[in-house]
Amino acid sequence: MRIVNPTFGQSPAGAETLKSGAVDWAKDPILLFSNSKPNARELLEGLKGRFAGIRSTDGIDFVWKPSASQPASAEQIDGAARRYKAALLALGD
Which residues of the shown chain bind other proteins in the complex (CB under 8 A)?
Answer: 1-12, 15-23, 25, 31, 36-40, 42-43, 46-47, 50, 66-67, 69-71, 80-81, 84-93
Q: Which CB sits closer to other proteins, 57 or 70?
A: 70
- Minimum gap (Å) between residue 59 Cβ and other proteins: 14
- Minimum gap (Å) between residue 56 Cβ and other proteins: 16
| Cβ contact 90:34 at 8 Å | yes
- Minimum gap (Å) between residue 34 Cβ and other proteins: 10
Q: Which CB sits closer to other proteins, 2 or 58?
A: 2
DSSP states of 41-90 as a string? HHHHHHHHHHHTTTS-STTEEEEE-S-TTSPPPHHHHHHHHHH-SEEEEE
Nearest 10 degrees: Cα torsion 80, 59, 54, 52: -100
